[in-house]
Each structure stands twice: as structure tokens, then as C-alpha cells.
Chains A and B, each alone.
Chain A
Amino acid sequence: MNRQEFEQKNSAEWQTFEVELKSVDKNEDLSSAASIPSKFRKICYDLSLAQYRMFGARICDRLNTLAIQGYRSIHRSKGAFGEGFLIFFLRTFPQAFRRDWKLFVVSSFIFWVPFFLMWWSAHREIAWIQSLLGPESMNSLEGMYGKNANTVEHLRQEHGSNFEMFAHYIQNNVGIDFQLYGGGILFGLGTIFYLFFNGLHIGATVGYIDYAGDPEKLWRFVAGHSSFELLGMIVVGMAGLRLGFSLVAPGNYPRGKALARAGRRSLPLLLGGASMTTFAAVIEGFWSAQPITASTKYFVGIIFWVLHLLYFTVVGRRGYGA
């Protein structure tokens, strides 16, 4: 069969496939949907034949375009959102966390060491913290957590300020998560920088309030969301470090391949960690500043830390990974 015969014999079929595919894609006419896969297989067959016999670019291009369109349409994922959501949080995410537990240790160290160093330095040499925070933030910290300051609960009385703060935490904290992750591409240096800097800054804040303000006001405020916020950041840090390590130590793969593998492997950590930070923003916006007794708040905070420990060690032990 030469090229003209081939085209004459099949061109009507190709035309039908193109028209039917378009109408199915647009949900206009679904009557032909059931026959699309078998017609797609015929297109694949024709394409390989045309390529093998070198029927020329015109025919091959046409079939190539049809094959790509068919592939896109057939493989478009429309999984049930709710089910995917459950599988992710009950299985994929905790499993991904355990698989990379060593990175959790590294990421935690990079955050907690500067945190405790700065806090500790408050009692030894306050000048370190003073130079890190600067007069403006020290002033505002004293306004919120100072010995004579109104409580955060009081500041949040104004209409809509809970919502505003929620939005602020989303924009700021989840944004920092994404930066932490993207920074991993600079051989992990970006991730390390943000983790370390956050450790320094948060440690300095705690240290300064411990030194000059009323720490109980701070603990009461942060207890509820602390586990979600800090662990969420550390988990996203793991994802960024995974990217960075794949470039520093690619193992048996070329760097490009190693990076692609690291991308796939880090994705659950990024999505999970960012979800934790998002949830932290909800708590921080709508619960942490509620006028509730300190003991209740501490209790809730401790419960959340314990639940995190259980979640990451126990959940999703059975069942296959995604």
C-alpha cells in the first residue's frame, strides 16, 4: 500500500476521530465516548505504520497531533477529590515523612539549634538579640507581650481583625513555606538559610519576651498553633533539603534524573507541610487569641503536639504507598 492509498483508505476515519474527540472533550456529545479508546488504538496503529514506512511529514504530523490529543483526553485525571484527599493524609503524607525521617532530623537541627541559642543568649548577653531584632520590633513586641501591655485577646476585639490576621498568616507563613521549598534548588542553601534565619528570629523573639516582657502572654497565644506552624515549616524544609541533596549528592543517577526523582519524592512533604501551615493560620487567626483560660490553651497545645507525634509515627503503617 503506498502513501496515496493509505491516506485515501483511512483519512475519513481520522476525520471522524478528530470531530468526535473534540465534541467529547467539550462535553457536547458523549454518544461516541465509548468508542474513543478503540479509535485511539487505530490512530496509534496508523501512526506507527506511517512512521515506519516514512509516509512523509504531512501524514505523520496529522496522525501525531491526533495521537497527542487522544492521549491527553484519555489520560486526563479526574479522580474523586475527596478520596484522593483522604488517601493523601491517611497514607501518602505520613509514609513520605517516615521514608525521609533522616531529613526530619537534619531540618529540625537547622531550626532548633539557632532557636535555643538565641533564647539562651537572652540570659547571658541581651545585645545579640537587640541587634538582631532592632528597636522597632522590640517596641512592637513590648506592645503585645510587655509587662504592662494589653493582651493579644484585647487587641483582637476590633471587628474583622481575626480574619485579617488569618489572611496575614496565610500570605506570610505559607509564602515562607514555598520559599523554603524553592530555595532547595540552590543546592539546598536557600532552604538552610530560611530555616536557620527563622530559628534565629523566633528564638530571639521568645528570648526577648522572656527577658523584657511577660512570657505567659506569649505562651497563651502560641500554644494552640505552635505544633502545626513549626512542624509544618520543618516538614517543608525536609522537602527543600531533598531537592538540594539530589543536586549535591545525586548517587547513581545523573544530576537531572536525580532532581526529577527528588521532585516526585518531595511533593507529598511540600503539600503536607503547607497544609499544616495553612491549618496553623486558621488556629492562629480564630482560636489563639480567644479569651480562654491559659490552662485550657496549654492543654489544647499539648494535645496537638502529641497528636502530631502519633500521626507521623503510626498513621498509614498498613496499606500500600501511593
Chain B
Amino acid sequence: MAIPARRIDTLQTVELAEGIEIHLRVAGPYLRFLAWFIDLLSKGALIAVYALLIGMTGPVFGDNVASGFFLLGYFLIVWFYHVLFEVSKSGATLGKKAMGLRVVNEAGGPVTMGQSMIRNFIRFFEMIIPIVPFLAFFHPRFQRLGDLAAGTLVVYSRARLDPMMPGPTSLNSVPVNITLTREEEAAILAFRDRSGGWSQGRQAELGNHLVSITGMDDTKGVNQVLGMANWLEARR
């Protein structure tokens, strides 16, 4: 798999049949681990509640029937808890809902029953060697083995946590004398769109990376960068 070049964000680009590129915000292993742990607890709780219910209604049906119902319910919870939640409209188990995640296919669409079965049945065996699920850290899209086999991703379903805060509008317009790549232009524009949320020190720290083209550092440098953003935008 091609390793994407270093970028200014963790967005994953997917091209759709509609001829557009969408960006998926792929979730990292830490939140997914928490979601898994919540699911583990909820499965345990479900089984306990179900056993209690069966225990109370058991005498009505007779012991054999009751124990049959318990076995069927146990089977469903153990093997299909994740699957049934993931194919539902929300695309998320209780743990994933709590963490603001959802499971999607590689084009960002809803997963099928089969895909969900593959990714969840494989997890039981990834857990045998507990390091294996954490190998997802090294994958550019944080896919574990089950995700790779099923062709699925876990993405954020909630809006991004850090709202965009554009910096103060700069009045000057500073021409850029060198040719920038699109990615570099995007970085300068993103700097303007997000700098309002940063402290002055942080702004200066980031602005100083551009000393070679602004020729100034710290606050002056930051103003130069903001001016460049103005110039870049006015030019198009």
C-alpha cells in the first residue's frame, strides 16, 4: 500500500464514483480501544440481564425450553452484538456511539452484514496475541487485520472537536515570490483559517517555519504569513 506523503492533517482521501474526492476522518486506536472496552462491559451486562429474565420466566416454559432460550440468546450476544449494531443506521456499537465513532466501508458508505461479520469474527483471534490489534497504529488508515479483510474503516461520526477560528484579518497583501505547490498554498490558507484559536507563542512557533520566504520571525513573520494568505486568495 502506498504510504501517503506527510500532510498537514490526518484526513484520508477517497475518490467516489461521482467523480469527487471526499475526506474521511479516520479514528485512532486509542478511542477504538475505549469503545471496545465499553462494548465488552455492555455485552457482559446484556448477558447478565438476559440470564436474569430467563431465570424469572423459566418456570413458565419448563427448564429445558428456558435453557434453550438462554443458549440462543447467549450465542446471539457473543457473536452478533457488534454485527447487528454496525449494520444499523448509526453504524456503531454502544461503545463506538459513546466515543463518537462509526464503521464505514472504504468509500465512506454503510457496511454490509458480511463485512461486519468478517471484521468482528477475525477480532477474536487478533485478541489471542494482544499486540496484534495495536498493529493498526502503523497502518496509515488505522485498519486492523479484520478491517483489511472486510474492507472497512472506523471514522469519526461527530463534528470536529476544534472549531475553526480564523485569525484577525490582515490589511496588507504580501506577494509570494516563489512557486508554491497546492499543498503549500493550502497550508498557508489553513494557517490563516485556524490561527485565531492559537496563542501568540504558538502562532510564532509555526510562522517561524516560513522564515526562509517571509524573511521575518515571530509576530512580524506571522503578519507576513497572514498577508501572503490574503494575496494568495485575492489572486484566484
Quick one: which of B174-191 are within 8 Å of A by CB? 182, 185-186, 189-190
Cα(A41)–Cα(B126), bound, Å: 41
Q: Mark A37-61, 1 if CB is under 8 A from B, else 0.
A: 0001100100110010110111011
B107 interface residue (CB < 8 Å to A): yes
- Contact (Cβ within 8 A) B72 A170: yes
- Contact (Cβ within 8 A) B75 A174: yes
Quick one: which of B1-55 are within 8 Å of A by CB? 1, 16, 18-24
- Contact (Cβ within 8 A) B18 A41: yes
**Cβ–Cβ < 8 Å partners of A54 in chain B:** 182, 185-186, 189, 236
- Contact (Cβ within 8 A) A164 B67: yes
Cα(A44)–Cα(B21), bound, Å: 9
- Chain B's nearest CB lies how many Å from the CB of A37? 10
Stretch in A135-143, A219-227, A254-262 with 4+ CB within 8 Å of B: A254-262
Stretch in A101-109, A263-271, A310-318 with 4+ CB within 8 Å of B: A263-271
A72 interface residue (CB < 8 Å to B): yes
Cα(A190)–Cα(B127), bound, Å: 13
**Cβ–Cβ < 8 Å partners of B122 in chain A:** 181-182, 184-185, 243
Quick one: which of A160-201 are within 8 Å of B by CB? 160-161, 163-168, 170-171, 174-175, 178-179, 181-186, 190
Asked whether A71 and B75 contact (CB < 8 A) given A64-B23, A160-B64, A166-B68, the answer is no
Interface size class of B (residues with CB under 8 A): 35 or more
- Contact (Cβ within 8 A) A259 B145: yes
Cα(A77)–Cα(B109), bound, Å: 10
B112 interface residue (CB < 8 Å to A): yes
Number of interface residues of A (CB under 8 A): 60
**Cβ–Cβ < 8 Å partners of B190 in chain A:** 56-57
A158 interface residue (CB < 8 Å to B): yes
For the residues of A in contact with B, the DSSP-based class is helix
**Cβ–Cβ < 8 Å partners of B149 in chain A:** 185, 243, 259-260, 262-263
- B114 touches which one: A47, A158, A256, A267 (CB < 8 A)? A267
Q: Considering only CB atoms, which chain A residue lies closest to B61 in the complex?
A: A160
A9 interface residue (CB < 8 Å to B): no
Cα(A56)–Cα(B164), bound, Å: 10
B97 interface residue (CB < 8 Å to A): no
**Cβ–Cβ < 8 Å partners of A264 in chain B:** 151
- Contact (Cβ within 8 A) A71 B21: no
Q: Considering only CB atoms, which chain A residue lies closest to B164 in the complex?
A: A58
Q: Mark B129-173, 1 if CB is under 8 A from A, else 0.
A: 100000000010001011011110000000110001000000000
- Chain A's nearest CB lies how many Å from the CB of B20? 4
**Cβ–Cβ < 8 Å partners of A56 in chain B:** 189-190, 193
A306 interface residue (CB < 8 Å to B): no
The CB with the most chain A CB atoms within 10 A, among B79, B149, B150, is that of B149
B125 interface residue (CB < 8 Å to A): yes
Q: Mark B90-123, 1 if CB is under 8 A from A, else 0.
A: 0000000000000010011110101001100111
- Chain B's nearest CB lies how many Å from the CB of A164? 4
- Chain B's nearest CB lies how many Å from the CB of A104? 20
Cα(A170)–Cα(B76), bound, Å: 10
Cα(A2)–Cα(B234), bound, Å: 8
B206 interface residue (CB < 8 Å to A): no
A76 interface residue (CB < 8 Å to B): yes
Cα(A71)–Cα(B106), bound, Å: 12
Leading 6 A-B pairs by shortest Cβ distance: A263-B149, A160-B64, A167-B68, A160-B65, A164-B68, A167-B71
Can you list 5 residue pairs at the A/B interface with Cβ under 8 Å?
A76-B110, A164-B67, A182-B124, A267-B117, A270-B117
Given A2-B234, A179-B124; 15 other pairs, CB 8 A cutoff:
A2-B236, A40-B18, A48-B21, A61-B160, A68-B108, A159-B62, A167-B67, A170-B75, A171-B71, A183-B125, A185-B125, A190-B125, A259-B149, A266-B118, A271-B114
Residues of B within 8 A of A (CB): 1, 16, 18-24, 61-65, 67-72, 74-75, 78-79, 104, 107-110, 112, 114, 117-118, 121-126, 128-129, 139, 143, 145-146, 148-151, 159-160, 164, 182, 185-186, 189-190, 193-194, 233-234, 236
